[in-house]
């Protein structure tokens, strides 16, 4: 097991990549005792560090104290990658709750063509999480090993992101639209 001092030393680096890696390592190894070391990165000038901080606090650890901060990032984060991580974390707080307000917000983001692709894809995935729909059912995915058998793009994780707007999600988004209206 890595000691706290070994984990926190890279957090003081001037290299954003090193800091990012350290934040993710702290999160994945579940060093919750280092929460106070992570919080300042929520306000970092580097989007990737804000992204890593909210990924750790909101998604990996799902700490209730950061639910509102995550919601704030969903509404106002300018960087699309950091915002997509915030959406992922925010959705995880409401996993399988079928919360209508959260679903409506995510639905609006999914359909908003002014949003960048990572934001729209995260919002779509978030709707599945909040709805309690397994990702493989939501996308029609049968698994990466079978991706060449499908006539539509979207089964390989990279393809699923790249072809989000043209692939399977339109049908599922429409079904959710109908359900949200009723």
**pLDDT of 3:** 80
Three-state SS for 146? helix
Check: CB of residue 106 under 8 Å from CB of residue 91: yes
Domain that residue 159 falls in: 94-182
> Does residue 107 belong to any structural domain of this protein?
yes
> Does residue 52 belong to any structural domain of this protein?
no
Tokens of 100: 């209508």
Unique residue bearing structure tokens 């030393």: 9
Question: Residue 168 gets which letter from DSSP?
Answer: T
**pLDDT of 73:** 97
State residue 160 phi and psi, 5-degree precision: -60, -40
Cα angle value 139/174/67 (rounded, 5°): 70
**pLDDT of 148:** 41
CA-to-CA distance for 174 and 158, rounded, in angstroms? Answer: 23
Residue 133 zone, left/alpha/beta (φ > 0; ψ -120 to 50; rest): beta
Tokens of 151: 């006539």
pTM to 2 decimal places: 0.77
> Does residue 115 belong to any structural domain of this protein?
yes
**pLDDT of 2:** 74
> Does residue 106 belong to any structural domain of this protein?
yes
Query: Number of structural domains, the chain?
Result: 1
One pLDDT digit (tens) per residue for the chain, 182 residues: 678 889 999 999 999 999 999 999 999 999 999 999 999 999 999 999 999 999 999 999 999 999 999 999 999 999 999 999 999 999 999 999 999 999 999 999 998 989 999 999 999 999 989 988 876 665 555 444 433 443 334 434 433 444 444 444 455 666 666 666 65
Cα angle value 95/156/107 (rounded, 5°): 35
> Does residue 27 belong to any structural domain of this protein?
no
Check: CB of residue 56 under 8 Å from CB of residue 27: yes
> Does residue 12 belong to any structural domain of this protein?
no
**pLDDT of 94:** 96
């Amino acid at each position: 097991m890595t000691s706290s001092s070994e984990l926190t030393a890279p957090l003081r680096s001037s290299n954003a990549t090193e800091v990012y890696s350290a934040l993710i390592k702290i999160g994945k190894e579940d060093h919750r005792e280092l929460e106070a070391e992570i919080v300042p990165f929520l306000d970092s000038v580097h989007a990737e560090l804000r992204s890593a901080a909210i990924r750790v606090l909101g998604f990996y650890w799902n700490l209730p104290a950061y639910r509102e901060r995550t919601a704030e990032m969903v509404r106002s984060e300018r960087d699309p990658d950091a915002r997509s991580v915030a959406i992922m974390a925010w959705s995880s707080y409401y996993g399988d709750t079928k919360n209508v307000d959260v679903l409506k917000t995510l639905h609006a983001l999914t359909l908003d063509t002014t949003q960048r692709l990572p934001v729209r894809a995260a919002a779509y995935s978030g709707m599945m999480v909040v709805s309690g729909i397994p990702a493989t059912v939501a996308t029609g995915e049968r698994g990466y090993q079978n991706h060449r058998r499908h006539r539509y793009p979207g089964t390989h994780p990279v393809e699923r992101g790249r072809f989000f707007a043209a692939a399977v999600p339109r049908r599922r988004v429409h079904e959710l639209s109908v359900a949200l209206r009723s």
